[in-house]
Amino acid sequence: MRDYITIYSDSNHLPQKAIQLAKILSEGFQKEICFLSFAANTTEELQIKERHQLWMQEGDCTAQSFIRTAGISTLHESLTKIEAAFLIIELSSKASSKDIQHHLNNCKPLRIPYFFVKAEITSVTFYRVLVPVGFLTEEKEKGIFASKLARFCNSSITLLKAKDYGSKAKRSVNQIQSLFEKLGVPCEIKQAHKDSFKVQLEASLRASNGDADVIIITSSREYGLDDMFFGPPERKIIKASAVPVMVLNPRPDLYVLCD
């Protein structure tokens, strides 16, 4: 099985920061990089092939090229077909909230982690990963992917525990810490100033102020009326973040580390 670190882009510009991020994951996880784009017709398909070749030269990387003639709505199907392990989306400096939401909608069915990285970020590193932990059951799945970054990318992990009155966030942190101990992964635990509803945004702000190089968040289980009108929390986090954001979709069929 050949899993790919997949960079999705349908723009003409070189996704330089996405390539930098992909190189780190590729080296750590020993997986190939590939570019994924969608073409409207044969003429555009040929243009994209040339563009991918140029990206490899300018980005100093070796990558496979996958071009689908179906629309972006088939993103999940396309990633499944090419056996993608991670998806990376580079956001241009002009990306609007609407653009980010468009990507989030297309990524909603995904069962693999996906990254958002902004073109204007100065550098991409994985030295310090910040993991906000709230009270939801699926929050604990962040621990699995954080441990992988620690083992394969030599990342140091910090858990940011939500400031809740209940014990669920604390229990989630303890269970993640227990997993780390079994895997020999060290971690630091910090107390957040915000509760579970705001801890992911706090993590984004902390990272943007220099406390971390990457953050891991979970997306909303489903969108309510407020999310439809004002945008879901993950969109606001991605919009505000000055570091790459790894997003995990909740999996109702698989709640990991449960008692």
Q: Is residue 140 within 8 Å of residue 176, measured between CB atoms?
A: yes
pLDDT bin (cut points 50, 70, 90) of residue 257 is: very low
Query: What average pLDDT does the segment 23-27 reach?
Result: 97
Report the top-level CATH class of 4-118.
alpha beta
Domain positions in the chain: 4-118, 128-248
- pTM greater than 0.85: yes
Instruction: Name the least confident of 121-130, 132-141, 205-214, 223-232.
Output: 223-232
The number of C-alpha atoms within 13 Å of 20 and in the hemisphere containing its C-beta is: 18
Straight-line distance from the first to the last Cα atom of the chain, in angstroms, rounded to the nearest whole number: 32
Q: Do domains 4-118 and 128-248 have the same CATH topology?
A: yes
**Phi, psi for residue 6 in degrees, rounded to 5:** -105, 125
Check whether domain 128-248 has CATH 3.40.309.10, yes or no: no
The Cα 22–Cα 88 span in angstroms is 7
Query: Could you report the per-residue pLDDT of 44-80, keeping only the tens digit for each?
Result: 999 999 999 999 999 999 999 999 987 777 899 999 9
| Residue from 127, 205, 123, 121 nearest 160 by CA | 205
For 20-47, b where at least 16 C-beta lie within 10 A, e where not — what string?
bbbbbbbebbebbbbbbbbbeeeeeeee
